[in-house]
Structure 1
Amino acid sequence: MRINYDFSDLEAFLAVKETGSFHLAAERLNLSQSAITRRIQKLEIALDSVLFERTTREVKPTLAAKRLQARAEAILEDARETALAMRDESVAFKHQRNAVVTVAVIPTVVGLLLPKAIKMFRQEGYGARFRFLDHNANAVAEAVAKGEADFGICSIPELEPNTQFEPLFDDPIVLVFPTGHPFENRETITWNDLSDQDLIVPARGTGNRLLIDEAMARARLPLFWSYEVRRSSTALGLVEAGTGLALLPRSAVIAAPTSSFGYAPVLNPSIVRPVGILGRTGHNATASEEAFKRIIRTIAGEVST
């Protein structure tokens, strides 16, 4: 069944029913009397029922009108509640959007940058909440490009055509060893020194592994490894347990909560990854977002010096 009337027709009906007059109903709704008449006629045609008996002296509601009144009131009340709910949800969403900063970030720089940045952000009086998406470098770039994150912190420059990379600092790949290991007293470590070691390396498909594989290919050196892991925290745990030596970004090591291991850069060749802020072209940043990026730049400047 097709519905050929709308809320305005029901409003006109209720106004006539309550005032007992087309003229008074028109005044209540700030409409002409002819507009009220057209709406009632439209409703009567749609319902195939006469709603009012009209004489020169009075407007008398029919039985159909009396039956319609409760339903019309319920329909309009539901419509008002729906409109209010949608408006409230829109306001809430807007507030949340302004109050939440979403940052996609590679896990290896979380400990180095985020805790201090959040503390400084709060000290400056900002109250925004944060949503952190800890992804690998490729996923960080994708989250920024798709608008799932306001910005990213990653180690791979522009992978997507609508992103822009702002370098923060260079992050060398280092060899991590347990305290007391013979490498602790070495001034330099080369890749040839690692041929007989149980190496823990980043898993294939990660940005760090890509850097290592490309460097080895350019230098025409083999990479002999014993363990592949996806998380730097896993690699550090294995090193601490004496399982092997790990190749990790320095940022992941210096922010670790334990001092039971040491690290040193590996030379010939050395491997350095750029860490920076990845933004989306055309994105309008909020004041909270800009403040947080400014603070991250400050901390990154301290790391690079």
Structure 2
Amino acid sequence: MRINFDFADLEAFLVLFETGSFVAAARHLGTSQSALTRRIRRLEDGLGAPLFERTTRSVRPTLAAKRLRVRAQAMIDDARETVREMQDETARFDYQNAAIVTLATVPSAIPRLVIPAVALFAAGPSRARIRFLDMLANEVAEAVAEGKADFGLSSLPDLDARIAFDPLLDDRVVLATPRDHPLAREGIVRWDALAGHRIILPMQGSGNRALIDRALARSPLALFWSYEVPRTSTALGLVRAGLGVAPVPLSAVPIGEESLATCELADPAISRQIGLITRQKASLSPTAEALRATIVAEAARRRGA
């Protein structure tokens, strides 16, 4: 099979994919729109599939384009690394050392797991750059499965046959309250003790809300919320403002938070698993593997704490 497109065509494709505009992509590449159009058509002809749906107002990638994107980026990255290797062994080391690692994660795993691990990683010799994708649990799985992220951290284990879920730690649900709240003086708070207080709950359809609803479905207790929010960070912001109390995963509460107190929740006690999401039968780059290992070590330290 003859390949009748080149790396410049792939680069043009990637820029157009990211910008969604022939005008912006041509400007970025320093070329004309007609020249850019010819490159995209040559690539489409070579692949035998349309890559973009063009209208007068927008340029939308097709399914074929979404599949090509990851492979095209990998081909260009490999070509660049090959050039560097051929030029200088030192350049090869610098390229790998400054590589970009993309980590998809649920926001609630960031304060007590991701941030300490990244701090340790940054203190080492690597100058790798880390791109964070702050996503819902199902979005984390999709990002890893589609190659948009090297690996991820999520709380839903069985979402996609293309990914593997390796448990890292159990993350219990605690009650976050303002520091001066009456419940803050309690070491352990029963769920039924929340009656009469303004309660902040995760939005219906979120992983954390499903976790709470499943646990409470086995008891006669019914919770009536005052505020329903899409993200744990929003819930904690409302708690800081003194607007209520919120059941949240402990990992979502920043270490050393002075304006918040946390209490154990009992009857029932609820916890979730935070796990590592990776693509099935896919290997990580040395830099991504180093970051993954640091996160795994931090999770182990937390389990032993």
Same fold (TM over 0.5): yes
State the 1:132 CA deviation: 1.1
Q: Give the conservation status (yes or no) of the 8 Å contact 1:158–1:278.
A: no
State the 1:94 CA deviation: 5.0
Q: Residue 301 in 1 paired to residue 271 in 2?
A: no
Which secondary structure does the structure 1 equivalent of 2:127 belong to?
coil
1:172 equivalent in structure 2: 172
1:49 equivalent in structure 2: none
2:30 equivalent in structure 1: none
Q: TM-score, normalised by structure 2?
A: 0.67
Q: Residue 192 in 1 paired to residue 192 in 2?
A: yes
Report the Cα distance in structure 1 between the residues aligned to 2:127 and 2:183, rounded to whole angstroms. Answer: 46
Q: What CA RMSD, in Å, does the superposition of the two structures yield over aligned residues? A: 2.4
1:125 equivalent in structure 2: 125
Kindly tell me: are residues 147 and 220 of structure 1, through their superposed partners in 2, closer, same or farther at Cα, counting changes over 3 Å?
farther
Letter in 2 for 1:137: A
State the 1:272 CA deviation: 0.2
State the 1:237 CA deviation: 1.6
Deviation track 1:205-234 (CA, whole Å, cap 9, x = no partner) reads 111011011111122421211101112222
Q: Give the conservation status (yes or no) of the 8 Å contact 1:189–1:266.
A: yes
1:249 equivalent in structure 2: 249
- Where does structure 1 lack aligned partners over 5 or more consecutive residues? 1-85
Q: Residue 227 in 1 paired to residue 227 in 2?
A: yes
Report the Cα distance in structure 1 between the residues aligned to 2:217 and 2:80, rounded to whole angstroms. Answer: 50
Q: Residue 181 in 1 paired to residue 157 in 2?
A: no
- Where does structure 2 lack aligned partners over 5 or more consecutive residues? 1-71, 82-94
> Which residues in structure 2 correspond to 1:105-144 (within 5 Å)?
105-144=105-144
Q: TM-score, normalised by structure 1?
A: 0.67
Which secondary structure does the structure 2 equivalent of 1:219 belong to?
coil
Report the Cα distance in structure 1 between the residues aligned to 2:145 and 2:215, rounded to whole angstroms. Answer: 28
1:258 equivalent in structure 2: 257
Instruction: Identify the range of structure 1 (90-99 vs 192-201) with the bigger mean alpha-carbon deviation.
Output: 90-99
1:272 equivalent in structure 2: 271
Letter in 1 for 2:170: D
Q: Which runs of 4+ in 1 moved over 3 A?
A: 91-98
Q: Give the conservation status (yes or no) of the 8 Å contact 1:137–1:156.
A: yes
Kindly tell me: are residues 196 and 294 of structure 1, through their superposed partners in 2, closer, same or farther at Cα, counting changes over 3 Å?
same
Instruction: Tell me how many residue pairs correspond in the alignment.
Output: 219
**Percent identity for Structure 1 against Structure 2:** 41
2:216 equivalent in structure 1: 216
State the 1:147 CA deviation: 1.6
Letter in 2 for 1:300: A
Which secondary structure does the structure 2 equivalent of 1:131 belong to?
strand
When Rg is computed on C-alpha atoms for both structures, the one with the higher figure is 1
